[in-house]
Structure 1
């Protein structure tokens, strides 16, 4: 059992002892843990921005020290990641246009659609996420698929093979959140490291007949220099969010001064806003003295200041020279300036991520029509389509591993049909049912044969459950019509 929320640090991810690592794997295991340690702080920082737990970066110039504890969270990084992930919807597999019942059952048992959604979000945050495929234990699917974030695994890239050469995952932790089980994937073997109650590590080795690590990585924005991808949360976005957090805090400070404008009193006596120190009394001359008779100065009272500030009527006596103190108020600053600066932050973030302002929670009046509003999503949709093409290759390789592990055969011995598996995706533009119906009605005018097929209903936006109900109703109605036709024929034959 793993904890609901685990911290990932050098202390929580201890290395297995050298004595527990087989000699031929020591170098690669050492490289994996060294690489893991190198990227750990970076991944933790990216997670903080996504989880909205990044700290305010104060410039130390204009923000009062007492205001630094104000909650000024800005969740734009999470919105940018979720805006892409929600449009990338994995919809199962097909073989040359046909579905396979056995693979569909494994997809459903592993909840692969949900796992993909989680892995997709993690790859957007850290640049990479991982799937592993292993034989299921008793009560589990024949092939068990698991997903891991970059906090939970590390891998080394094999440039010649064009995929990872090996990888290791944290498979379980103890009650204190420290790793007690690792699973390392190599082309020739799978190693399982377990830490016992005494703290000693043990290792079990299992041969891998697949000829490749049973791990596949989901990568966002890879290139030739960084094949394991980049995070969507770039330094540019982090800088914009840092500035937006300071602007939110400045808005809070400005709102305080706007609600309670600063006032001033010229020529007021000191005792107007002060009280005698504790334990002091007033002598016959009007001075405050302590228990030993020493004259002490009055102490400023915040309570008296606030009562004077909020009082409906403020009565001030003349001073000792007979002059009346002058009371005035400083003009409060306008909140419009803060609002415009914050909107500018949102516009910069929107331009950097292709996420429309409205999806960042900042309303804008720049859209003049529904068409313009829809066009604002076009860059985001194009980016998701590109991401789906890259992720499709990964999900197809995951499917081949699932079929190989479930069938107990190497991937190379799968049939040509199994190797041709294709990943399906829902339309990232997410059109309404009416828009779908309009488009597919026009297609049906050119080809009537597609009307009533499963593809027709899927593209109209109906769920698989509703399509199954429709197909069942059609079969039932077809059977009734056939029985009525037979009965009619029998009646006509009896009449003759």
Structure 2
């Protein structure tokens, strides 16, 4: 029922919005420190974008290429729905909130439209076998106070639209499917709607690092103006103006009646090294949690790395990206399946699409040395097993499609 799904969305909405605040660097964390006064602490609120970096680095590595053996031409549906923005938006939203949803409708001309809805505005009951929803609910429009103005309740074969809590219109279709499809990142049996890239350990390391930066900023004031002292002044001497004594380049002290002069001194200057080391330690923990390197977080290493060294250091990120490709590929295929059924008004069976396979560009773009190595390996393997490497699997390794033009050498010979 729609009431159950409303309560379900209300339960998970705050957590998804919290992840978006961390991604947008707008979350103000509470500092439990007992040494720094609250008034001073609020003057030095730091901002750190490690969680956003963890999402963006993985999202930028995931570039959808298309569908192989696309017998139902579902790629055409994505091509007319601004694919450059659609795929990136779906991937980014799913990495932040663990999942997003695609709202599938048909315009007056009969073409399918695809709309991304973030996880804070949609939910449903999922079929763990197919990854499709049994029923779904989405908030299509909210007022200035966050209340739902326009809602959609999705059932197999129909979609009910509610305006300010009252049923307004019902759209029936012959596909017998729910026109709300989830795109999920790392689902499992416990959490069928996946897990966010912004994990609790990642949030902890970022919060701890922000507190370190705030303490560093406050300590930098004392580092810039170290405390000084004067001993031996006569009780009858005029008191020093603190600001004048700090910024003056020359101070004059006279001897007293007994001929004694005061002695000047300065406390040891505070070092910033402990804060730098602590921040680097926290960055190492965050990098280990998210599969990044210290270079990704701004801690540059001494020696520049080669392309192979960069790939080796990002091995964890590469494995994570390949896992994400499998998750998102299944979701995009489900979107294409439901969209094709809606556009054709034919209830196709899901097993008719099993031969269609999502394709992705390589996680790391190959350089010249890598291309040369792939070419040498392909030649040697084809000599042992003729036809093992062809245009299709070499395209997956290199990320380049086979050229339709004649080779440069043959063209020159023809001239």
Give the TM-score range, shorter chain. Answer: 0.7 to 0.9
Q: 2:66 aligned with 1:92, yes or no?
A: yes
CA RMSD, 1 decimal: 3.3
Give, in whole Å, the separation in 2 of the partners of 1:333 and 1:221: 47
CA contact (8 A) 1:444 1:450 kept: no
TM-score scaled by length of structure 1: 0.73
What is the aligned partner in structure 2 of residue 54 from structure 1? Answer: 27
Say which SS state the counterpart of residue 229 (structure 2) adopts.
Answer: strand
Give the SS at the match of 1:131. strand
2:362 alignment counterpart: 427
| 1:169 aligns with one of 120, 131, 138 | 138
Quickly say closer, same or farther: Cα 1:181–1:271, change in 2 above 3 A: farther
2:54 maps to what in 1?
A: 80
- Give the match for residue 144 of structure 1: 113
The equivalent residue for 1:272 is 239
Q: CA deviation at 1:160?
A: 7.5
Aligned to 1:29: 2
How far off its partner does 1:325 sit? 3.3
Alignment of 1:157-306 (within 5 A): 157-158=126-127, 163-174=132-143, 178-195=147-164, 201-268=166-233, 271-273=238-240, 304-306=241-243
Which stretch of the first structure deviates more once superposed, 205-214 or 48-57?
205-214
Per-residue displacement from partner, 1:228-277 (whole Å, max 9, x unpaired)? Answer: 1222222211111111001111221222211111112235568434xxxx
- 2:183 & 2:106 partners in 1: Cα distance? 21
Give the structure 1 partner of residue 98 of structure 2: 127
- CA gap of 1:345–1:366, structure 2 versus 1, over 3 A, is farther
1:411 counterpart SS class:
coil
The answer to whether the 8 Å contact 2:173/2:345 transfers is no
Check whether the contact 2:378–2:389 (CA below 8 A) recurs between aligned residues: no
Q: Answer yes or no: is the 8 Å Cα contact 1:381–1:428 preserved in 2.
A: yes
- Alignment check: 8 A CA contact 2:9 2:121 kept: no
- 8 Å contact 1:89–1:425 — kept in the other structure? yes
**Whole-angstrom distance in 2 between the partners of 1:371 and 1:453:** 24
For residue 41 of structure 1, give the secondary structure of its aligned residue in structure 2.
helix
The structural deviation recorded for 1:89 is: 1.4
User: Does structure 2 conserve the Cα–Cα contact (< 8 Å) formed by 1:433 and 1:460?
Assistant: no
Name which one, 1 or 2, has greater alpha-carbon Rg.
Answer: 1
Quote the offset at 1:369 in angstroms: 6.8
* 1:54/1:378 CA distance change after superposition, 3 Å: same
Which piece of structure 1 moves more, 150-159 or 171-180? 171-180
| Residues 201 and 379 of structure 1: CA distance in aligned 2, closer, same or farther (over 3 Å) | same
User: Which structure 1 segments of 5+ residues have no match?
Assistant: 1-27, 274-303, 485-496
CA contact (8 A) 2:131 2:331 kept: no
Query: What SS class does the counterpart of residue 336 from structure 2 fall into?
Result: helix
SS at match of 1:358: coil
Matches within 5 A, 1:267-416: 267-268=232-233, 271-273=238-240, 304-318=241-255, 323-365=260-302, 371-412=308-349, 416=352
Residue 399 of structure 1 deviates from its aligned partner by: 1.4
CA contact (8 A) 2:362 2:399 kept: no
SS of alignment partner, residue 197 of structure 2: coil
Asked whether the 8 Å contact 2:124–2:134 carries over to 1, the reply is: yes
Gaps of 5+ in 2: none
Q: Does 1:471 align with 2:408?
A: no
* Residues in 2 aligned to 1:132 and 1:386: alpha-carbon distance in whole angstroms: 24
